Amino acid sequence: MRLRTTGIVLLCLGLFCAVSPTGRPTLAAGPAAAETLTVYNPMGAPPPVTLRPQAPRLDTLKGKTLYFVNTGFIGGDRLMAVMSDWFKANYPDTRIVYKESGAGVSALSPALWDEITREGDAAIVGLGH
């Protein structure tokens, strides 16, 4: 009884199978496989962005005051020290000022912001990690 059932099942499978060029049997592709569907895009909506211009650049670093602002990530102080040394060696006429952000890793304290605006010409801020 089991053998007869197995034989019928194999016979039925044979009706739906073809032999591929590699010799392995494959299921015959029906017309549904090529049917096209229209589906929705699943994304939400991004917010609009207000474009902001960058500040004008300096024509030279000579005679200018360059602030190094350390936002407090570990090692930022050492990095800024070696960078400051490079500027002192290569741009001796540039005044270097080192400060800590005073407001954690993601902001500058208002007092420092005002100081750079008032007394600085440019700033290098780090460390983005």
Partner 1 sequence: MKKPAVPLILDDFEPQEREVASNLGMPGLRMQFFRGPVWGKTPAQLQKQVIEGNNPVTGKPVMRELVELLTRPLAAEERKTGELRRDAGPETYTGTPDELHRLFLEKRYTDFLPVVLPTEERVAEMLKFTSRRPDEELGRMNPGSEAGETWTYTVKTAAINAVMAGAEPEYFPVILALGSTGMTAVNVSDNGFMAGAVINGTIRDEIGLNYEEGAVGPFAQANTTIGRAWSLLSINGGNCGKVGTTYMGTIGNPMNLIGIIMAENEERSPFKPLSVRRGFKAGENVVTLFMGWGILSAKNWAATVWGPNMDYPGIIKEIYGTQDGHLFGTCAVLSPPIANFVRDAGYDTVEKFTEWVTGQAPGAKRAPAGPEINLGVRRSGGAFTVIVTGGSNNNYFSMGGMVPAQSVRIDDWR
Where does this chain bind partner 1 (CB under 8 A)?
33-61, 66, 72-76, 78-79, 81-83, 86, 90-91, 104-106, 113, 116-117, 120-129
CA 81 to chain centre: 28
Output the smallest distance, CB 17 to partner 1, in A.
20
- Of the pair 14, 104, the CB lying nearest partner 1 is at 104
Task: Report in angstroms the alpha-carbon separations of 116 from 17, 21, 57, 75, 80.
Answer: 77, 74, 15, 23, 17
37-46 contacts, C-beta under 8 A, 24 or more apart: none
How many Cα atoms occupy the beta-carbon half-sphere of 71 within 13 Å? Answer: 14
Cβ proximity to partner 1, 14 vs 78, nearer residue: 78
Quote the least distance from Cβ 3 to partner 1, whole Å. 37
- What's the min distance (Å) between Cβ of 28 and partner 1? 16
Task: Kindly report the number of other CB atoms within 10 A of residue 76's CB atom.
Answer: 21
Query: Least distance in Å: CB of 56 to partner 1?
Result: 6
Q: Considering beta carbons, is residue 1 or 51 the nearer one to partner 1?
A: 51
